Structures are given as structure tokens and as C-alpha cells.
Amino acid sequence: MAFLIAKPKTEAEKIRKDIRVLADLTAVYCRAKHRDREKSGPHPRGEVTAYASELNVQLCRECTKLVLHGAVKRIHCPMDPKPECKYCPEHCYNPRYREQVREVMRFAWRHMLKRGRFDLVIKHM
Ligand SMILES: [Zn+2]
């Protein structure tokens, strides 16, 4: 019966998923709030390059910086097991980005629920 038990995700897969969720939710936010801004795909550098496929979104400059900051922080998260960021005893985001990411998350979840995008909500849970 061992085959019925899902293998625990590897650390790399968890990082990949978290970065994708961050990028997707920020894209939802950016599309709605920064409609008039010029957007492009983020150009990850350094260690974030390995996660380029999770960053297949169009973002304005400000949102791009947030996502790349979040990706670096996620890659370096020393917590094991990692708590949800909002419950973490050590907030590692730069305070400016921390406030921004909270607003992005709040808005994006609400926005998807309001629009009945339960498919996206479930995908991210
Ligand atoms: Zn934006």
C-alpha cells in the first residue's frame, strides 16, 4: 500500500511552488491595480535564475522587484519546517516589501474569490 502514500515534497519543489504562488498572485494584483503601467516578464539573476520557469508572468517594475525579493528570501529561508510567512517569528522581508506583499496577498485572494476563481484558489492550496 506504500504507493498510496504521497511522497513528501522535496525542499526544492516546495520552494518552486511558493515562488510560483507569489508570482501568480502578484500578477493578479498587478493586472488589477497597475493596469496602466508598462509590464514585462521578470529577468531573474543569480540564484533566482533556477526558478525562471515559475516567473512566467507579466509585471510592472515595482511588482517585479517585490517578486524577485520574495524569491530570494524564500530560497534562503532557514526555517525548517517553514511556517507560513505571516506566522514566522523572524520576518526577513525588507519592511517596505513586507507591507507590500501583505497588501498583494490580501487583494489577490479576495479578488480571485470575488470572481469565483476557485480553480485558482484551489490550485494554490
Ligand atoms: Zn504592478
Q: 50 to each of 20, 44, 55, 71, 94, how far by Cα in Å?
A: 12, 8, 10, 11, 23
Check residue 7 and give its pLDDT. 55
Whether residue 114 contacts residue 28, with contact meaning beta carbons closer than 8 Å, is answered with: no
Check residue 5 and give its pLDDT. 53
What's the rounded mean pLDDT across residues 57-84?
94
Model pLDDT for residues 25-56, shown as the tens digit of each residue: 999 999 999 999 999 999 999 999 999 999 99
Those residues whose C-beta lies under 8 Å from the C-beta of residue 72, and which sit 6 or more positions away, are 47, 48
Model pLDDT for residues 115-124, shown as the tens digit of each residue: 887 776 666 6
% residues pLDDT > 70 (the chain):
89
Q: 70 CA to middle of ligand 1, Å?
A: 14
Check residue 1 and give its pLDDT. 40
Q: 58 CA to middle of ligand 1, Å?
A: 9
Q: 125 CA to middle of ligand 1, Å?
A: 23
81 phi and psi angles, rounded to 5 deg: -75, 150
Check residue 116 and give its pLDDT. 80
Q: Taking the mean position of all CA atoms in its chain, how far away is CA 118?
A: 18
